[in-house]
Amino acid sequence: MKRNLGIVGIMVDKRTDAAPRVQEVLTKFGDSIVGRFGIHDPGEEQHGLITLNVRDKEDKIHQLMGELTSIEGVDVKSMEMK
């Protein structure tokens, strides 16, 4: 079973109520997350940025990204490292 190592970037629009739902999804997939870093954008846009280091099977990482993408006000990008 190959477990991929990658990076997932999550942009959360602070003008929505997305943050609690994002946290629920991250908790659900906590066993796939090996590192997490979050910052907020103090500028006019009012976005939050969360960077995840993930390690799991490709389909599980895609499931995580799919659930995050389905949340209004959330944009997700990823990069496979290994």
How would you write the pLDDT of the chain (82 residues) with one tens digit per residue?
789 999 999 999 877 789 899 999 999 999 999 999 998 877 767 789 999 999 999 999 999 999 999 999 999 999 998 8
CA 52, CA 17: separation in Å to the nearest integer? 21
Record the pTM.
Answer: 0.89
User: In sequence order, what are the beta bridge partners of 48?
Assistant: 12, 40
Q: Tokens 């969360």 label which residue?
A: 50
Domain parsing of the chain, residue ranges: 4-80
Fold exhibited by the domain 4-80: Alpha-Beta Plaits (3.30.70)
CA 22, CA 42: separation in Å to the nearest integer? 20
